[in-house]
Amino acid sequence: MLRDTPTTIYLKDYQPPEYLIDQVELSFELGETETRVRSTLHIRENPASEQASGTLFLHGEQLELVSLLLDGKPLESDEYQLDDEGLTIYKIPAQCLLESEVRILPQNNTALEGLYKSGGMFCTQCEAEGFRKITWFLDRPDVMSRFTTTITADRQRYPVLLSNGNPVNHTELAEGRHQITWQDPFPKPAYLFALVAGDLRSIEDSHTTPSGREVALKIYVEPENIEKCDHAMASLKHAMRWDEQCYGREYDLDIYMIVAVNDFNMGAMENKGLNIFNSKYVLASPETATDRDFQGIESVIAHEYFHNWTGNRITCRDWFQLSLKEGLTVFRDQEFSADMGSRGVKRIEDVRLLRAHQFAEDASPMAHPVRPDSYMEINNFYTVTVYEKGAEVVRMQANLLGRDLYRKATDLYFERFDGQAVTTDDFVQCMADASGRDFSQFKRWYSQAGTPELNISSAYDAGQQTYTLTIEQHCPATPGQADKAPFLIPLAMGLLDSDGHEMPLTLADETDAVAGTRMLEVSERRQPFIFTDIKEQPVPALLRGFSAPVKVHYGYGDEELMFLMANEQDGFCRWDAAQTLAQRILLARVESPEAEVPAGFIAAFENALADTGSDKALLCEVLTLPSEGYLGDQMKEVDVEGIHRSRESLKKRLALALKARFLKVYRENSLEGPYVPDAASISRRSLKNLALSYLMQLEDADVEQLCIDQFNAGDNMTDVLSALSLMADRESSAGEQLLEQFYQQWQNDPLVMDKWFTLQALSKRPDTLDRVKALMRHPAFSIANPNKVRALIGAFCSANATGFHAADGSGYQFLGDRVLELDGLNPQVASRMVRIMARWQRYDSQRQQMMKAQLERILKTEGVSRDVFEIASKSLEQ
Ligand SMILES: [Zn+2]
């Protein structure tokens, strides 16, 4: 807790560490009231540091000193100094051993950073700066050490004792205690340290790497969840194989362990050899998990596994380089998921997320570059910009190089930097060296914030048979960056003739025509591209595959958009044409609710629904209207009620016009037989449930019965939850009854209870806020559990626009109260919540005043955490 204004840390101030810790021996005595941690640090001067000052500062917070020895001698009180942030030792020798013992209280650790208890189990979370709450250390990623960890605990309560690396020794001790030692041969930064102790069961499997290493795979869970690990294990094996094939990377220890815990701030953590997961991303069975959950598990398991090379073997020099590991690893997990399921649909899902959250962040006071220049609290920079935009930046490099050169570049990266802590510049240099290309302009993607916008115009000259695309780029100002230099933007495009066929393309200075997609490299502020031998006026398909994270403005006519919906081969462009058209209609109806829905739009919907041969997953995306949040982003001032009304009424209009079609699709896509979460079945279920959501717009008793029947018959959570969420929107006793029935059935399953909370938080009923408040007192809710907070409070405030932005300000008051309540327990979770109000300027002046008042109230509260202070103060800066 802070009294002063937190200080800002700058990238430009980076200095290599003066001292290194080559080796560390840790010993934990786990107890019910306190834990003792003894550490021995092997310290030496860093030869790469300019001059060692002779003074050593080690990070450490909330540690109680028991003993401190330098080279075997106790330190006198004038030889060191302790404060809230760490330990300073004066006159440190060039090489020495520092031994310390501290007392910590994991039982009281509600921030869930460092060592804490989750239920009956001890576990850790050290990224980014949690290790300093365990012992004194150089807690920065460029200090890499070999760890040996000994854990001592009660054998009955904690039969399983885990840490990084390989187990080397197990001893039974007196008084029912036991001890195990783990040794990790790979040097790693402290943020990758992990420890777990508990009464856990495991499932086991094995994997043989191409070089013949036999790896034991283990997933540890609490005993009641042992039946729910098979999907996670299968996903891990797929991920290992994929990384061997696509990146030539294999695993390097004898054992790979995953542990599921219920109380966890993030999704999962890639600690070396011992991944710790939010149980949400491990546990699944058909009865309790939805299709989305199954897909989420596959992707998060893969993501953490991929970090073994992109993050662990090669790590970040400092936290400004976070995207070095996260952008690259998200790109890797996106490609893995694309290979496991439908590539086209995966791309659309990624773009939907990026546009909804990252573009919004870019347009807010929290906008920052993929490699930020400064921060107050690094935990606030685990953002969609660093992760998802970072992945887009890697994707662009992969596309500019092409498959073979990109592989050559990543091979070079692994070879050149294995075992080191490096920067995003080092990564890009490998792309440049492998390809011989100059990436200096490209690197602006790392240093300049904001979403670039492309204004594209076209001109067809029938006499010359030329077609000119003129592309202008600009990027809006973001905090601290008023003017930006032009980006290098890869723009994939094609031209369609009147039959919908791809035209062969020749640029003015070329001789051979290239059929299919062209990648234009836009590098100037204004740049014309002239195509020759163009026999007729074409329709351009722009930004195929979403080849760059930009906004494209091109004056398509409605007819052209419908033409692209019917003819374009690229899934993203086809979907985007449908979204653009729907967006136009929806926004027009916000202005004038009676505006006509063009007959062509309804016909296009009908044609799409009738096309039984098409990719059902893609069809689902095309038939999903843009979200309320995304529509709001397209308006000068967000009209919360207007958007909601417009979207609901268009859905109803489509349902009225196409009721028979929707019913037919519903019936044709109902599945018989046991539940399978494969791509084909998932897409059929999505389409069926999408049809049901349109049909439920009609106040039709037969349709409602269909929905209730689906709930009752459902043998899988996807169908049950789809039906239940539609019923939860209604103020009817039938809806209440189903909610109660669902609760009775699943009250003992915390992850299913999260879903139950969320669908009530998202309900369109007018009394939702009161119900959310009442649910906070429900026995299944706990404010100390991040999953519960996100499921109920987070869902209401971030995804129920009409409820949260209620005109009387009750939603804002509620969020302000919750932020302050949470901040005392868990600052990381509190700061995620306060972020929801960062975009207050987007609303009308009354709402602005009310949100501002909450932010000011939070800032004025004494003892507010650095996490929350940073977000609230930056939100108010502009
Ligand atoms: Zn990650």
pLDDT tens digits, residue range 180-228?
A: 999 999 999 999 999 999 999 999 999 999 999 999 999 999 999 999 9
- Does residue 304 carry a catalytic annotation? yes
Class of residue 77 by CB neighbours under 10 A (exposed 0-12, middle 13-18, buried 19+):
exposed
Task: Report, as an integer, the average pLDDT of 572-591.
Answer: 97
- Give the whole-angstrom CA distance, residue 591 versus residue 636: 12
- Two tokens, residue 31: 């107890």
Q: Ligand 1 centroid to 490 CA: how many Å?
A: 26
Q: Which residues pair with 490 in a beta bridge?
A: 521
**Assessment of whether the complete model's pTM goes beyond 0.85:** yes
Mean pLDDT of 529-538: 96
Q: Distance from the CA of 327 to the center of ligand 1, in angstroms?
A: 8
Q: How many whole angstroms from 311 Cα to the centroid of ligand 1?
A: 8
> Which residues, other chains included, contact 327 with Cβ-Cβ below 8 Å and sequence gap of 6+?
370, 386, 387, 389, 390, 391, 392, 393, 394
Instruction: Kindly give the distance from the C-alpha atom of residue 775 to the centroid of ligand 1, in angstroms, as a whole number.
Output: 32
Confidence of residue 4 (pLDDT cuts 50, 70, 90): low
* Ligand 1 centroid from CA 140, angstroms: 17
pLDDT bin (cut points 50, 70, 90) of residue 1 is: very low
Q: Which two tokens stand for residue 137?
A: 């250390």
Confidence of residue 615 (pLDDT cuts 50, 70, 90): confident
**pLDDT at 369 (0 to 100):** 98
Q: Which two tokens stand for residue 213?
A: 């290493």
CA of 389 to the centre of ligand 1 (A): 13
3-class secondary-structure state, position 72: coil
CA–centroid distance, 240 to ligand 1, in Å, is 16
CB 742 within 8 A of CB 719: no
Q: How far is CA 35 from the centre of its chain?
A: 33
32, 21 contact by CB (below 8 A) = no
Tokens of 255: 């054992």
The pLDDT, as a whole number, for residue 510 is 86
Average pLDDT estimate for 34-50: 96
- What ranges in 402-530 are assigned the alpha helix state H? 403-417, 424-435, 444-447
pLDDT for 2 beyond 50: no
Q: Name the one residue in this structure whose structure tokens are 């930064």.
A: 189
Catalytic one among 18, 127, 298, 304? 304
DSSP state of 341: S
Please, what's the largest Cα pairwise distance for the chain?
95
71 has a pLDDT exceeding 70: yes
Q: What is the mean pLDDT of residues 821-830?
A: 98
Mean pLDDT for the chain overall: 96
Q: Which two tokens stand for residue 148?
A: 């040996």
User: Ligand 1 centre and the CA of 277: distance in Å?
Assistant: 12
- How far, in Å, is the centroid of ligand 1 from the Cα of 260? 16
Residue 3 has pLDDT above 50, yes or no: no
Residue 200 identity (one-letter amino acid):
L
Contact assessment for residue 320 and residue 371, using Cβ atoms and an 8 Å cutoff: yes
Residue by residue, DSSP assigns 489-509 as EEEEEEEE-TTSPBPPBEETT
Give the bridge partners for 73, in sequence order: 70
CA of 379 to the centre of ligand 1 (A): 13
